[in-house]
Chains A and B, each alone.
Chain A
Amino acid sequence: MSTPNDGKSSAQSNPLFQLGKERLELIGKHADALMQGYLQGHVDETSFSQQALEKLINGRILWRPDEQQPLSLRPNVNELIAGLTQDERKRQINSDVGEHLDLIHTRVQSLQTARQKGDYAASEHHMQLLTERVHDMTGQFGDAIESLWHRLNTEFGFVSSLDDKILEIELAQRQLRRILDGFKIINFDELIQLAGSDGALRKLLVSQLQARISEHSGSLLEVQKRLVLLMARFRHQQERALLVNRMSAFLRQHPNFKVGDYPHRSNVPGVINQAHGISAQGFVALDRPQDSYVLAELARAIPRDLVPESQSEKQTQGFATAVQDLVATEQKQLAKDVEDFFLHVIEHTDPVSGVDYLAEKALSWEAEMWLFQIVAEFEGLPQHNKQSFMLEKDSARKSPFNHLHIIQDVKLGMRFFGGFQAVG
């Protein structure tokens, strides 16, 4: 340790020094248990020895508020911890300005008396206490405002229910008002008179104090604004919740509650006027030739099945499914080939023989199956299409004993003038 200077030694000689240090150390020694007590609201006596307990009680740290009550921390200690840890829940806003001002008054008077007497040491002492007192006062304002800010910034997050939040804000508003009242009590004219012509006093009591107070006022004003806003928001939320709860309770109790026929009133309220949807649809515009290229592009981009679905698919129903697939593909192919045959016929003016075509294209179909499919396709054509074609069956009688005719070939041609063009 460094060599103690005069100020320090004089402070150490003060009897308070030893006592205060002892008490502080006592708190430090039992910090764990005391903090436990702070959080729980009462102290667990079993965690202390009898001796320690006595010391703590005598040291004005613990007390028993009532015979039946458990031991707890003294309010001052509670407040000390709250102040140190900025625990806003327990931190008290103490802005009792009147008392401060009274003390300042007395102190100034003592100071002036000491000066008149020429007691330099005493006046120095009074000046020091006076400075402390003024700083205490503004410091308390500062603390109080800081505490309000802190609570604002956490949006009263430590209380969960809306009702409690509103109560908290009301509390904060009351505290705020008390601080403002405190400001009003400070009468600067009086302080100017009190300071008289003493420069140091004037500076301390008037200019410094004024600067701090106006700073605090600005801060307070902002707090006030924010509090009002928050309050409005919470009230709004509360009102909504109440509205929802009460309306549903009402509707539950009055199942036959009828609402007026607002849509048919002469004055339809805005909240009801909600137009129903129009589902917008667009179609291809074929009347604009300039779009044809884009439309063609679009049409080409449409994904489609490679093999067009034909009716023949239906004809395969009833087969065993394993065979069905194979048959279906073959059937499709056959139908497609026949279709090509028809197209071939359309492109040529002369009637075409089915058997010749089969040979020419080297298709693998059995002739009988092939001819059957052609006939089936022809018969299956819609009536008006059918009339454009002419089918001639080249058949021979199988046996002289019955009338069974076997078709050996078919000739398909376009009908233009009531018969085969070539024939016609």
Chain B
Amino acid sequence: MIENGPLLERLLEGEFICAVTDEHSFHKLQNEQLVEDLNHFLRPLNRRVAKSEDGAVYFLAYCDLNQQARQQLSQQFNATVQSLLPMLEWMQLVQEAMGRDGALSAGDTIKLQDFESKVVDNQSLIQRLGQLSSDKLFKSTSDKSDMQIKQVFKRIKELGYLYQPHKDRLFYIVTGKVEQLIELVRFIKDEENVPIDEHTPEQEAMF
């Protein structure tokens, strides 16, 4: 078990483990026996190994939802919900700038330079980037696009949605945590009956 110590430690630190951030550990966690063993260790800490619905990412969840755990979840959930719109807007921005029509998903790579050159060529993208980067999630005070982009990507990396394989090279890989975010969006949509399944005319005007 001692050889799984580092893995356990990373999980305990609240990290999300997916095929992008740590392929080796990710494959390890697909072994059900191991997960059971880990859960045995984690039980006294009121933790267990959980994964996203599609199995793209592993993380720790609470076993017993006592008051403290709920408070923690509440705090976290509120933070996530508050960052939801800027995150979604960022995803759209990347999608549009890079000319993709599928939403970003785990494993997609983004070269900062490519992204930047696409954005600065397009006035409306520059404007949207400016608005996005001044959001309180990113808190960029610069009025230069390249600084704004750097700040936005830095923050998203800190939030765990992007992984930077080389410290000095500016390219990022989307992590499995994005899948978890999409799942949350889907959940909120279903649970709150957000009326976005049908094309309402007012939305049509926006596209």
Contacts and interface: CB of A to CB of B under 8 A. Distances in A.
B62 A273 contact: yes
A244 B191 contact: no
B89 A248 contact: yes
B77 A262 contact: yes
Interface string B167-204: 00000000000001011111111011011100000110
B142 interface: no
B126 interface: no
A20 to B, nearest CB: 47
Contacts of B99: 160
Contacts of B194: 247, 250
Contact of A243 (B13, B46, B103): B103
Interface in A250-275: 250-253, 259-264, 268-275
A274 B73 contact: yes
Given A243-B185, A275-B62, A263 B103 contact: no
Nearest to A274: B59
A88 B99 CA distance: 24
Nearest to A245: B92
A391 to B, nearest CB: 55
Interface stretch (A276-284, A322-330, A362-370): A276-284
B73 A243 contact: no
B105 interface: yes
B74 A264 contact: yes
Contacts of B59: 274-275
B8 to A, nearest CB: 9
A213 B187 CA distance: 48
A271 B53 contact: yes
Which interface class (under 10, 10 to 19, 20 to 34, 35 or more) fits A? 35 or more
Interface stretch (A103-111, A233-241, A371-379, A406-414): A233-241
A272 to B, nearest CB: 6
A243 B182 contact: yes
B103 to A, nearest CB: 4
A260 B99 CA distance: 35
B100 to A, nearest CB: 9
A270 B65 CA distance: 12
Interface in A205-252: 237-238, 240-241, 243-252
A183 to B, nearest CB: 35
A265 to B, nearest CB: 9
Given A248-B88, A274-B76, A243 B101 contact: no
A240 B99 CA distance: 16
A277 to B, nearest CB: 2
A19 interface: no
A275 B60 contact: yes
A342 to B, nearest CB: 47
Given A240-B102, A241-B102, A278 B13 contact: yes
B101 A163 contact: yes
B25 interface: no
Contacts, number: 131
Contacts of B202: 253
Which interface class (under 10, 10 to 19, 20 to 34, 35 or more) fits B? 35 or more
Contacts of A244: 88, 91-92, 95, 103, 182, 185
A161 B84 CA distance: 26
Contacts of A277: 12-15
Interface string B78-95: 000100110011011001
B3 interface: no
A271 B73 contact: no
Given A248-B89, A263-B77, A273-B61, A240 B105 contact: yes
Contacts of A404: none
A52 B105 CA distance: 56
Contacts of A273: 50, 61-62, 65, 73
B185 A263 contact: no
B92 A248 contact: yes
Interface in A134-188: 160-163
A356 B45 CA distance: 66
A276 B16 CA distance: 11
Given A241-B101, A244-B92, A274-B76, A251 B85 contact: yes
Interface of A: 160-163, 237-238, 240-241, 243-253, 259-264, 268-280
26 contacts: A162-B101, A163-B101, A243-B182, A243-B186, A244-B91, A244-B92, A244-B95, A244-B103, A244-B185, A247-B84, A247-B185, A249-B207, A250-B195, A262-B191, A264-B70, A270-B50, A270-B61, A271-B53, A271-B183, A272-B184, A274-B50, A275-B59, A275-B61, A276-B72, A278-B12, A280-B9
Interface of B: 9, 12-15, 45-47, 50, 52-53, 59-62, 65, 69-74, 76-77, 81, 84-85, 88-89, 91-92, 95, 99, 101-103, 105, 180, 182-189, 191-192, 194-196, 202-203, 206-207
What 4 A-B pairs have minimum CB-CB distances, sorted nearest first?
A277-B14, A237-B102, A263-B73, A248-B88
Given A271-B184, A278-B13, A280-B12, 14 more contacts: A240-B105, A243-B186, A247-B185, A249-B206, A250-B194, A260-B192, A269-B187, A271-B187, A272-B73, A273-B61, A274-B76, A277-B15, A278-B12, A280-B9
